[in-house]
Amino acid sequence: MSFIIIAIDGPSGVGKSTIARKLAAELSCVYVDTGAMFRCLALSWGKQGCPESDLFLQELGEQTRIYFEDEKTFCDEIDVTDEIRSEDISSLASRISLFPSIREVMKKKQRALVKEECEAGNYKGAVLEGRDIGTVVFPYADHKFFIDASPEIRAERRYLQLREQDVDADFQEILSALVERDHQDKNRSIAPLRAAEDAIIIDTGNMNIDEVMQHLLESVDRTKIYA
């Protein structure tokens, strides 16, 4: 039996999670938030004092159990859904993602997670969101999308979201943190953030979520799902 694999890559704060989650639900696929997986490791790494060793990180990566259940993220059986969303963890995750050992461990974990979930018979395939899904983790994915928007638009969306939640926010601070993370993600030597050559690029600058969803659904070949 074959499973459909859909890769959704793009920079921070572009709305990949909302889009990927919706698409997965619509297509009866498992949703895999690979950024959350990097964040879980960053959390464990931070708790251990951030030792800068490739071997240490490899062992940490191999030993840490990460899984998703009922829209929650678990790291070694602890629900870390909210804890991994802090600004500190965002920048630690970006730092940790530079290590070659971590990229290798995460690639294996992501592939294994998809295989396990699909073979258990609960899903028709997987929708994965991240930075290197279409280029490295699943280069033979059935569909690849690269979702983009300017840093200013992404920062403004984040700012409004925080204000709506009554959280104190500074637009300039959000923008500089985004620009710094973009720079780190795009310029690392291994698996940098970039669109795969065969990815469909969608600039969401002037689009709402429903319009993006429509675009994605029109591009997905549903015959592959029910094959």
**Which of 163/183 has CB closer to ligand DC?**
183
Q: In what order do the strands lie in the sheet containing 125-130? A: 30-33, 125-130, 4-9, 143-148, 200-203
CA–CA distance from 93 to each of 37, 88, 108 (Å)? 9, 9, 18
Query: At its nearest, how many Å lie between ligand DC and the CB of residue 102?
Result: 9
Question: Is residue 73 near ligand DC by the rule CB under 6 A?
Answer: no
At what angle are helices 34-47 and 87-96 packed, to 10 degrees? 100
List the one residue from 35, 61, 125, 151 that touches ligand DC (CB under 6 A).
35
* Calpha distance 60→44 (Å, rounded): 8
The answer to whether residues 61 and 106 touch, using CB atoms and an 8 Å cutoff, is: yes
Question: Is residue 38 near ligand DC by the rule CB under 6 A?
Answer: yes
Question: Is residue 44 near ligand DC by the rule CB under 6 A?
Answer: no
**Which of 100/200 has CB closer to ligand DC?**
100
Q: Please work out the total of residues on this chain that contact ligand DC, with binding judged by CB under 6 A.
A: 13
Q: Are β-strands 125-130 and 143-148 bridged in parallel, bridged antiparallel, or unpaired?
A: unpaired
* Calpha distance 220→57 (Å, rounded): 37
List the one residue from 185, 202, 220, 225 that touches ligand DC (CB under 6 A).
185
List the one residue from 34, 44, 135, 204 that touches ligand DC (CB under 6 A).
34
Question: Is residue 158 near ligand DC by the rule CB under 6 A?
Answer: no
Stretch that binds ligand DC, among 33-41, 55-63, 158-166, 196-204 (CB under 6 A): 33-41
**Which of 130/225 has CB closer to ligand DC?**
130
The answer to whether residues 77 and 69 touch, using CB atoms and an 8 Å cutoff, is: no
Question: Is residue 40 near ligand DC by the rule CB under 6 A?
Answer: no
CA neighbours closer than 13 Å in the CB half-sphere of residue 120: 11
Stretch that binds ligand DC, among 32-40, 60-68, 147-155, 157-165 (CB under 6 A): 32-40
Which residues make up the interface to ligand DC (CB under 6 A)? 12, 34-35, 38-39, 93-94, 97, 130-132, 181, 185
